[in-house]
A = this chain, B = another copy of it.
Amino acid sequence: MSQEKFDSTDLKILDALQRDGRLSNVDIAEQINLSPSPCLRRLRRLEEEAVIEGYKARLNRNRLGLAMTVFVQVKLRSHSADSVAGFEAAVQQMEAVVNAHTVSGSADYLLEVVVADLEGYDLWVRQIQQLSMVREIESNFALRAVKADAPLPL
């Protein structure tokens, strides 16, 4: 739809930053063989156009005591606008939910939930089950991360 707007230099900047979000402009410039001034111009443009939505630190969940990641498939009772809006608002307020998508297939939503332990998960499940618009959930516990938060293929 729009990737024609970005030349290979833009992509190199984006790729450098998705691998190390704290690179300074001069470091990026050096890495992609460009001088700092045009590099900064491009970077600012990419930020303004919201191609870069933000920056974040990648934290180690286990070391923070968040040892449990669960993928939860949710089916709603009805797909009325109210049900959908209510469910999504609830999901957005739940801090344990770090990712949520509507999906094709037999489930309506796929959520990624992060909690400390089984007890924390139990508490969260009770919250979700109290939502009247939820018909059914199926939990799949992440046993091991094979690949996490890898860079996008640019």
B56 touching A18 by the CB < 8 A rule? yes
Closest CB in chain B relative to A48 CB, distance in Å? 12
CA distance A152 to B59 in the complex (A): 8
Binds B, one of A31-39, A75-83, A93-101, A126-134: A93-101
Say whether, besides A64-B154, A98-B147, A103-B142, A110 and B71 are in contact (CB < 8 Å): yes
User: In the docked arrangement, what's the CA distance between A64 and B141, Å?
Assistant: 31
**Residues of chain B within 8 A of A63, CB atoms compared:** 2-3, 49-51
Shortest Cβ distance from A61 into B: residue: B152
Contact B150 A97 (CB under 8 A): yes
Complex CA–CA separation, A19 to B110 (angstroms): 23
Give the complex CA separation of A51 and B21 in angstroms.
16
Residues of B within 8 A of A30 (CB): none
- The contact string, 1 if C-beta is below 8 Å from chain B, for chain A 37-70, is 0000000000001111111111111111111010
With A and B bound together, what is the CA distance between A50 and B63 in angstroms? 9
When distances are taken between beta carbons in the complex, the residues of chain B under 8 Å from A114 are 152-153
Q: Does A22 reach chain B (CB closer than 8 Å)?
A: yes
Contact A51 B22 (CB under 8 A): no
Query: 7 closest pairs, A vs B, by CB?
Result: A3-B65, A21-B55, A17-B57, A95-B153, A100-B146, A100-B147, A101-B142
